Amino acid sequence: MNFIAVDDERPALRMLEKAIWEARPECQLSSFLTAKEALQYAKENRVDVAFLDINMAEIHGIELAKRLLEINEKTNILFVTGYQEFALEAFSLAASGYIMKPADARAIDLELTRLRNPLKVWPDKQIRIKCFGGFGIFVNGEALLISWAKPKELLAYLVHKRGAGISSAEIAAILWEDKEYNHSVRTQTQRVISQLIKLLEEAGIGYLIKRSWNSLAVDTSKFSCDYYECLEDEDYMKHHVEEYMSEYSWGETVTGYLSRLQ
């Protein structure tokens, strides 16, 4: 995801950057204090989402949006402003959203789930996830090395949940079982989430993860999995002998269930 943020006031731009990073830590974000710089960038790079201030001195935000859409009609325009009177004109441009200042991560995350041109990443790799006999992920037949223990466990738990969304608090409870969910643990949890997303993005399979406000899930349509196949085949379940997610204590309930079927 390639985003740009444009505001001719530096403090406001820094606040907007912070909110965008909190909402989408995996995105590529380029920020500009002038519309001219933003337009030059858009001519040379694909822009998926443009966060634009409206009341700018050099080039008005509405005019900047028009020029960006001339460059790429699929660019999603999100206006971030303190002036409500521009809302009607903004939406006449088929803008994706209108966020009042000061923008926060929650408002940005909400608007990103309602984009006029949804962000799509099409899978170009065969992905296989193995849950029995130890957790592993294979891309085009080759094991993907996940050297960090916590991001690997998070991915394993997301697969275990089979596409159901889980909150940051639930993730923290899984990764740090006995720790209080305080500021430190929340920060560590967000770091693990960012590490996992970054790792998958670098492997070209970032589309495995689906994010919404305070919710994380895997897209089960993008990979095959021995555990899912097991659940769909009663005979497979009865004769399976390898332990499920053997390295994680939360996998014991599934192992016990399968053992009772044998």
What is the tens place of the pLDDT at every residue in 210-240? 887 778 999 998 889 988 888 876 665 655 5
Indicate if the pLDDT at residue 160 is higher than 90: yes
* Shared fold status for 2-112 and 127-261: no
CATH class of this structure's domain 127-261: mainly alpha
Q: What percent of the chain has pLDDT over 70?
A: 86
What's the CATH architecture for 2-112? 3-Layer(aba) Sandwich (3.40)
**Weakest mean pLDDT among 26-30, 78-82, 188-192, 247-251:** 26-30
Query: Model confidence at 94, in pLDDT bands (50, 70, 90)?
Result: low
The pLDDT mean for the chain works out to 85
Helix (H) or strand (E) holding 67: helix 61-71
Q: Residue range 154-183: average pLDDT?
A: 93
pLDDT of residue 122: 46
151 and 199 in contact (C-beta within 8 Å)? yes
Q: Residue range 238-254: average pLDDT?
A: 77
**Weakest mean pLDDT among 50-59, 107-116, 146-155, 249-258:** 249-258
Q: Residue range 103-111: average pLDDT?
A: 90
The β-bridge relationship of strands 215-218 and 2-6 is unpaired
Beta-strand ranges (E) seen in 112-200 are 127-130, 136-139, 142-143
Rounded to a whole number of angstroms, the distance between the first and last alpha carbons of the chain is 46
Nearest 5°: CA angle at 204, between 37 and 225?
150
**SS3 call for 245:** coil
pLDDT of residue 163: 93
Other beta carbons within 10 Å of 191: 13
Q: Which residue has the tokens 């037949």?
A: 141
Helix (H) or strand (E) holding 147: none
Q: Would you list the domain boundaries of the chain?
A: 2-112, 127-261
